[in-house]
Amino acid sequence: MDLHHELLEIIEKADSICIFGHCLPDGDCYGSQIGLRELIRLNYPKKKVYAVGTGIPALFEMLGSMDQVDDQTVANSLAILVDVSCLRRVEDPRVFTAKEAIKFDHHCIALDTEPFDGLSWVDEDRIAACEILIDFALGNGWKFNKTIANALFLGMATDSGRFRFHGTTAHTLELQQLMQEYGAEPQKLYDIVYAEDDTTRAYKEWMRQSAKVDGKVTYLVVSRRQYEERGLPYEKASEYVNALADLNDSKMFALFCEDEYGYYRVELRSNHGYPVQPVAKMFRGGGHRYAAGAELRHDGPNYLDVIYQLNQVEPDE
């Protein structure tokens, strides 16, 4: 039996399923959770299926809200991880109590720091976890509906920068078109996801004006005081790394944002074929080859160490 059918068999045997994603969920995480939940509900109406976590509230009216699940339900369920590499990176720690866990993911595998014992479909060459889920569903002959198409389109669109980033393939574009044929509404999704109020626009403009350059890297270090003074919560302020994209013709860009404990969330990106994931891994992190994250703590290296390592990176051929 191949991997595809082994995963399908585990899902078909489960009466109750909880779908988990990573902390600070993005479009691919939320889209994967909602898309897979609705796929299983549509194709297996008797199963109890829940999406667990915070999701993206701005999209709840269009795609659906997350589920409130008690501890006993989690303990009696199959856990499916989507867009997350291992159990310790899951947003809801109750995942450790689930009966069994499998995953669908596209992060680079780091077995030494992010072990996962369950069965998994991991493809580092995919632009989004949603792309993997679409192929899994198609291979099963599962039915789709408009909500599913919108959720899975969302994940591909956001992780690919609206199908512009390095890693978007011809197959990605084929699945994009297929989801539109099933009813996905790109403009409606974009209007919600990329909507910006005056506070956000002002913050991003401040980021661009304040960014610094060191060799191949454009970067910005943001303190808690700086984003709070500008009216942004940490969850938002720390995710806008793409505001630094293509400034100063840099090959890579990095955002360091302080949380309430004085630790720094690190977001690393490259739209020019420079692999940043190996650098993230040096600093308690991981991710995708050209989009990765890490964390800096009081007792370890600082942002200058990250910048130094980024400047040693050579582009992929």
Sequence spans of domains, the chain: 3-193, 199-310
CATH for 3-193 is 3.90.1640.10
Q: Give counts: helices (H), strands (E), the chain.
A: 13, 11
Q: What's the pLDDT at 317?
A: 75
C-alpha 71/C-alpha 166 separation (Å) is: 40
Task: Select from 288, 2, 243 the least CA-distant residue to 125.
Answer: 288
Q: What's the pLDDT at 161?
A: 87
pTM of the model: 0.87
Residue 57 structure tokens? 């509230």
C-alpha 251/C-alpha 121 separation (Å) is: 31
**Residues 6+ positions from 199 with CB-CB distance below 8 Å:** 230, 231, 232
Would you write out the chain's pLDDT as a tens digit for each of its 317 residues? 699 999 999 999 999 999 999 988 999 999 999 999 999 999 999 999 999 999 999 999 999 999 999 999 999 999 999 999 888 889 999 999 999 999 999 988 777 777 888 999 999 999 999 999 999 999 999 999 999 999 999 999 999 989 988 789 999 999 999 999 999 999 999 999 998 899 999 999 999 999 999 999 999 999 999 999 999 999 899 999 999 987 888 899 999 999 999 999 999 999 888 999 999 989 988 888 888 999 898 777 889 999 999 999 999 87
CATH for 199-310 is 3.10.310.30
Q: What angle in degrees, to the nearest 10, is found between the helix axes of 129-140 and 146-159? A: 140
Q: What's the pLDDT at 1?
A: 61
CA 136 to chain centre: 18
Q: How far is CA 309 from CA 72, 245, 274, in A?
A: 45, 19, 12
Buried b (16+ CB within 10 A) or exposed e, 202-220: ebbebbeeebeeeebbbbb
pLDDT tens digit sequence for 183-205? 999 999 999 999 889 999 999 99
pLDDT tens digit sequence for 250-263? 899 999 999 999 99
Q: What is the dihedral of CA 122, 128, 129, 132, to 10 degrees?
A: -70
